[in-house]
Amino acid sequence: MTERIPAPGTRFVHAGSDPREQRGYVNPPVHRASTVLYEDVRAMEESQSDPLKRNHPVYGRFGTPTGRAFETALAELEGGHAAIATCSGLAAATTAVLSFVRAGDHILVSDSVYVPTRRFCDSLAALGVVTEYYDPEIGAGIEELLRPETRLAYLESPGSTTFEVQDVPAITAVCRSRDVVTVIDNTWATPAFCRPLALGADVVVHSATKYLTGHADSILGAIVCTEDTYATVRGAAIRLGQCAGADDVYLGLRGIRTLGVRLQQHQRQAVELATWLRDRPEVVEVVYPALPGDRGHRLWQRDFTGAAGLFGVVLDGRFGKPAVDAMLDRLHLFGLGHSWGGFESLMVPADSLAHRLPGTRRPAGTLLRVHAGFEDPADLLADLDHAFTELTTRHG
Ligand SMILES: *Cc1c(COP(=O)(O)O)cnc(C)c1O
């Protein structure tokens, strides 16, 4: 009899969990640790001989059983060999890049990348690493940008704030054939909706701050590696002093248990809001790959199994900044704040072009970023309707 492969819903519940190892308790304890004691000098020396060894506790900075449970669960869900928890999503991105580059290298980075990741890549110039930005819709055309010294390509799909979907299999196939490492930020989709390693990527990074922890109460990151890349990334993470807090890895693991159902609900709420917004006279465009007609819809249908609750909405250009600001201030249920991925709805201005390559398609009006939380959709739509109606009557 062949063993049945568990469906995703089952995997979120059980990944990385072994209650027998913790006396039957369903969840692991929160290990707060720096010092770990050894039986004798020999045991101490053996553990130091191989810092990559994951199962022997060495020192708190190298991880604890709580962190290991989070890493194991995430690696399993992404179909990776192993994962490394980091203190933030940005630290996951910077550590992944620093693992591979040296002076003289050239790296290709998506022009739609998360802006702090972009700032970090720009700063690599001081170390002799040249960063070049590519059009996220480039696909296999990325081949023309490869140089003999190109070491790494950094993808994010969909892109931050502008939501371009990349042809990940086409890009990773070209890069793989030229020994260029591909790193991809999968924070938006999570393994619930996309598994980039199966699309050819070598390394996946996450801001677990967003959907993985899912309750806006933690800052946490993770890097998921293939077998080929793990030793390199883990070695760099250790040298850089990467580690994550005890409570944060616990919250990351706890979040994973409900990730599947939360993402399905975020998607349902977002589709309802996005569809309503698209039909409003104040709106010229909704940027959300899940909607038919979106530029990335076809690739999204091919490579994703669902859409997260984060999307863009472009207001008609006749509304100036004071009018849009007043509208945002008038919203009650949609919060105005950084980050996303928690249970609450948010709507913030998104300065989409400030950092982009010249020639990037300009939205026809003010771009806002919406996160669909779990409030009742009727209440959310009433909140939007009230603010939009005032926008039109006062400024239209
Ligand atoms: C928020 C975010 C990050 C950074 O995560 P932090 O945990 O805040 O450091 C990285 N990538 C994407 C796509 C993000 O949205």
- For residue range 170-200, what is the model confidence (pLDDT) as tens digits? 999 999 999 999 999 999 999 999 999 999 9
Residues 218, 306, single domain; the answer is no
pTM > 0.85: yes or no: yes
Cα angle value 387/392/396 (rounded, 5°): 145
Say if residue 155's pLDDT is above 70.
yes
Does residue 101 lie within any of the structural domains? yes
Does residue 142 lie within any of the structural domains? yes
Q: Is 90 in the pocket of ligand 1 (CB under 6 A)?
A: yes
Residue 139 C-alpha to ligand 1 middle, in angstroms?
A: 24
Residues 12, 159, single domain; the answer is yes
What is the number of the ligand 1 atom nearest to the C-alpha of 339? 1
- Per the prediction, the chain carries an average pLDDT of 94
Q: Write the DSSP string, 267-333.
A: HHHHHHHHHHHHTSTTEEEEE-TTSTT-TTHHHHHHH-S---SEEEEEE-TTS-HHHHHHHHHH-SS
> How does pLDDT run across 323-337, given as a tens digit for each residue?
999 999 999 999 999
Residue 205 C-alpha to ligand 1 middle, in angstroms?
A: 9
User: Quick one: what percent of the chain has pLDDT higher than 70?
Assistant: 97
User: What is the residue whose two structure tokens read 């890895």?
Assistant: 249
Say if residue 257's pLDDT is above 60.
yes
> How does pLDDT run across 75-118, given as a tens digit for each residue?
999 999 999 999 999 999 999 999 999 999 999 999 999 999 99
Residue 373 C-alpha to ligand 1 middle, in angstroms?
A: 18
Identify which of 328, 310, 309, 335 has the alpha carbon closest to the alpha carbon of residue 366: 328
Does residue 91 lie within any of the structural domains? yes
Question: Which of 237, 257, 277 is the endpoint of a domain?
Answer: 257
Residues 390, 329, single domain; the answer is yes
For 347-366, give one letter per residue: b (16+ CB within 10 A) or e.
bbebebeebbeeebeebebb
Question: Which residue among 95, 112, 114, 154 has the greatest number of ligand 1 atoms within 8 angstroms of its CB, and so is best to mutate?
Answer: 114
Q: Is 248 in the pocket of ligand 1 (CB under 6 A)?
A: no
CATH code of residue 17: 3.40.640.10
Residue 215 C-alpha to ligand 1 middle, in angstroms?
A: 15
Residues 184, 39, single domain; the answer is yes
Question: Which of 200, 223, 257 is the endpoint of a domain?
Answer: 257
Residues 137, 114, single domain; the answer is yes
Question: Which residue among 86, 87, 90 has the greatest number of ligand 1 atoms within 8 angstroms of its CB, and so is best to mutate?
Answer: 90
CATH code of residue 371: 3.90.1150.10
Residues 64, 166, single domain; the answer is yes
Residues 265, 251, single domain; the answer is no
Does residue 2 lie within any of the structural domains? no
Q: How confident is the model at residue 154 (pLDDT cuts 50, 70, 90)?
A: very high
392 phi and psi, to 5 degrees? -70, -45
Say if residue 60's pLDDT is above 80.
yes
Lowest mean pLDDT among 114-128, 139-153, 289-303, 381-395: 381-395
Segment 120-142 mean pLDDT:
98
Residue-level length of the chain: 396
Host domain of residue 217: 8-257
Lowest mean pLDDT among 51-65, 173-187, 281-295: 51-65
Q: How far apart are CA 119 and CA 172, in angstroms?
A: 23
> How does pLDDT run across 5-49, given as a tens digit for each residue?
788 889 999 998 889 888 999 999 999 999 999 999 998 888 877
Q: What is the pLDDT of residue 80?
A: 98
Question: Which of 257, 282, 307 is the endpoint of a domain?
Answer: 257
What is the number of the ligand 1 atom nearest to the C-alpha of 92? 9
Residues 160, 54, single domain; the answer is yes
Q: How far apart are CA 212 and CA 271, in angstroms?
A: 21
For 161-197, give one letter per residue: b (16+ CB within 10 A) or e.
bbbbbbbbbbbbbbbeeeebbbbbbbbbbbbbbbbbb
Does residue 1 lie within any of the structural domains? no
Cα angle value 247/249/254 (rounded, 5°): 90
Pairing of β 203-207 and β 221-225 = antiparallel
Q: Is 212 in the pocket of ligand 1 (CB under 6 A)?
A: no
Residues 12, 113, single domain; the answer is yes
Does residue 108 lie within any of the structural domains? yes
Tokens of 179: 């020994």
Does residue 3 lie within any of the structural domains? no
Q: Is 160 in the pocket of ligand 1 (CB under 6 A)?
A: yes
Q: Is 352 in the pocket of ligand 1 (CB under 6 A)?
A: no
Does residue 118 lie within any of the structural domains? yes
Furthest-apart CA pair in the chain: how many Å?
Answer: 78
Handedness of CA 232, 236, 239, 243 (dihedral sign): negative
Tokens of 394: 């006062």
Residues 224, 338, single domain; the answer is no
Q: How confident is the model at residue 338 (pLDDT cuts 50, 70, 90)?
A: very high
Q: How far apart are CA 374 and CA 270, in angstroms?
A: 10
Domain count, the chain: 2
Residues catalogued as catalytic: 61, 114, 185, 210
Q: Is 72 in the pocket of ligand 1 (CB under 6 A)?
A: no
Is 394 exposed, middle or buried (CB count within 10 Å of its CB: 0-12, 13-18, 19+)? exposed
Q: How far apart are CA 47 and CA 61, in angstroms?
A: 14
Identify which of 238, 219, 209 has the alpha carbon closest to the alpha carbon of residue 61: 238
What is the number of the ligand 1 atom nearest to the C-alpha of 341? 15
Say if residue 54's pLDDT is above 60.
no
Residues 217, 330, single domain; the answer is no
User: What is the residue whose two structure tokens read 């209440």?
Assistant: 379
End-to-end Cα, the chain, rounded Å: 67
What is the number of the ligand 1 atom nearest to the C-alpha of 188? 13
Q: What is the pLDDT of residue 134?
A: 98
Q: What is the pLDDT of residue 51?
A: 59
Is residue 220 a contact partner of residue 62, using CB atoms and an 8 Å limit? Answer: no
User: Quick one: what percent of the chain has pLDDT higher than 90?
Assistant: 86
Q: Is 185 in the pocket of ligand 1 (CB under 6 A)?
A: yes
Residues 200, 328, single domain; the answer is no
Tokens of 389: 């109606």
Q: What SS3 state is found at 108?
A: strand
What is the number of the ligand 1 atom nearest to the C-alpha of 208? 7
> How does pLDDT run across 357-389, given as a tens digit for each residue?
888 888 889 999 999 999 999 999 999 999 999
